[in-house]
Chains A and B, each alone.
Chain A
């Protein structure tokens, strides 16, 4: 239940999100507009024709004026029009791409949390056994190797060495076919994106579980004759997850930002790929629009995680 304090906290955070979005979007707006070149110039479009196009799309106006126009559109949910595909409304395009990215991000989050917590619990329960050493080693490898290396390895193994076996089953169809990736298609990029953060979660879960299972109430539960499985899952895990939630925020942010790299490596037609392409294409409105969406997503991800704390640990109040 939302208390008055929580509502005030949410209000404050929303204001902060708006402020962050304004700062971030203006920064990106100013930077991309100051890059040399533009979306229109070509051997055929130059001189007067170019000036007319720049004028037509307001690109010859001062940056603050252009930004103000962008903001006016933004409050109406209008991110403007693409310059690369002239006049194409951006909002439906990026929302479609956001849904692709969300699919990938969700899968990566499942990998992160699923692997991280499972490995962490098993390592703690089997402390100082080969299971512990193996899973801890995997975790170390996980957070030591950047996601793009894992992605490249995945492509090398499944796309090159095992291509005759996999027949491209692990690769996202391009372009977006109107349907989302299958489990097989999602698996490689999701693992590449989630493996790094799953290592961190493994470590924290293991440490937290080791601390919790030494507690008196756990010993009491065992003394009462409860099965070890129930003691671990029902009594130990919930308390052990509190520290884990503390890094969920950075984890989600890592997945969102990491998706830019992974989508480009795997050619997944999501927001991250669009972001990079739009920079090269000088499609300013798309670049700023995508970055603004990222800022909003990260802001709301942080807020959501903060609110989840209160559910998992009732001691936390806002």
Chain B
């Protein structure tokens, strides 16, 4: 019997070994190093928007900056918790560390000495001066982030309006080439008087007026505060940003970040590779990031591909809103993947704007009369915001906006339930309507305008139903299939009631209150509601020139002015959803942006 037992055990052992071997073979890519890292450190994910540009001087969309934060650096940057931390600079300047003068007008920034562009060029303070002057001259969407620096307006005036295109990119080339020529020649007209480089490792910034928000705004990733290489841009001022490079190559898309663009096919794919011996920290573990540019309609197939392991994550690159509710439910319902769904608050608030100040457009809500404010209040109180989040977003894709316009989690958030306009009181709403529009004449033929698509359609239907049910007012829905036309009309105050919203650029209340209401917003062409109030303007000016801690009560006062005036109906805060495999360590997002790629690694799996 003994030999038989021995033989059985031998067969059993062989079977177990064979089984293990088969298992190992089946997990083909699970080859791991001793540290637990997978042998392949290539991160793969899809995006559903094509970047308009990767030129920090011209970038103006989240899809641009989310990617570019891994290629370019700023003086300081946001960490994963949205705190400012040094990036190229040795410290974030404060008055305590003598980085900011006592009058708050002069910033002295010391740069790290080991910073290099990925073409090998050393980065010095002259590169910072060049990059910022260039960004101001280009006058892109985020140029105003540098507007407090002395000489800002003069440089923009010198750069002038770009010459119109004579044949395709001709005018563009001329305009940008002219800027490059002037900057190369150190033309004083193209140098902000407040920006200088006293030595190779020092940048001095003098402001035209005190600025409480500048430090934060200059940190906006992949944007006007980012440092670019003059030599690389000079070789092709128009298309340098779309030209892949090899490490050490002089021309093309050269930055100081931990990754560089290694391959780019428009509307198809992007490949980024890690810079070897990168100067910063943490050193990138990923060797490559492969991005597939897909049509939004491909999201369902991509989720399947993610489940099969063909993608490591979905939602990066400004696409955290693309996972639809059925897809989210599908992932949640799958025991294997449910824990790999990452849900995070997104720094975006959606509200309804009343036409308060555009008299030419008219409507019952215009002005500061008791009737106008009463009717605005009636329409606000008639909407159950919690019900909206449940009905429309299934409490997954959004949360009710109850703490003011600034999204929960950001500086300036007022606190849960702090916004009186977020309350739902159908009885009071009806009472106000009866008081101020007893015949129903004022609120007849009202329209709610919005751009069709996404959550906007069900939100509009919900609002229509709420007003019909609680106020007995029939509001016609006015969807616009063309978002750009809708935005143009909205910004120029052509709607009586319209969908509105804002996604913060940097974590400072100024980003909200400057851009959306009051005289500053009107001058910038973005005052949807037409709300203008001298007190608001005065408090805003004071707040903007005050350091953040001291300015917070002032910004709170601004929020209260808007609430008292009932300039809007708060609707919801967006929620971001990511599908991230558990083996992708360090991946995730805060309410502004994805975590940096150099913090990410792929564990053996």
Contacts and interface: CB of A to CB of B under 8 A. Distances in A.
Given A37-B488, A56-B165, A84 B52 contact: yes
B164 interface: yes
Nearest to B516: A43
A87 B175 CA distance: 13
B298 interface: yes
Contact of B172 (A56, A79, A175): A56
Nearest to A79: B168
A87 B60 contact: no
Contacts of A267: 295, 297-298
A314 interface: no
Interface string B165-181: 11111111001000000
B164 A60 contact: yes
Contacts of A137: none
- Interface-central residue, A42, A46, A86, A176, by most chain B CB under 10 Å: A86
B53 interface: yes
Interface stretch (A47-55, A128-136, A210-218): A47-55
Contacts, number: 150
B51 interface: yes
B308 to A, nearest CB: 10
A235 to B, nearest CB: 51
Interface residues on A, range: 35 or more
- Interface-central residue, A43, A49, A282, by most chain B CB under 10 Å: A43
Contact of B487 (A43, A56, A285): A43
B367 interface: no
A5 interface: no
Contacts of B487: 41-43, 46
A39 B267 CA distance: 16
B482 A48 contact: no
Contact of A87 (B169, B523, B525): B169
A178 B265 contact: yes
A45 interface: yes
Contacts of B89: none
A120 interface: no
B418 interface: no
- Interface-central residue, B169, B482, B488, by most chain A CB under 10 Å: B169
Contacts of B483: 37
Contacts of A168: 301
A57 interface: yes
B171 A58 contact: yes
Given A55-B162, A174-B298, A37 B482 contact: yes
A263 B22 CA distance: 42
10 contacts: A41-B487, A52-B161, A55-B161, A56-B171, A57-B164, A72-B166, A73-B168, A87-B172, A93-B266, A267-B295
Interface of A: 35-52, 55-58, 60-61, 69-70, 72-73, 78-82, 84-89, 93, 168, 174-178, 267, 269, 280, 282, 285
Interface of B: 50-53, 58, 60-61, 139-143, 161-162, 164-172, 175, 238-239, 242, 265-269, 292-295, 297-298, 301, 482-485, 487-488, 491, 501-503, 505, 523-526
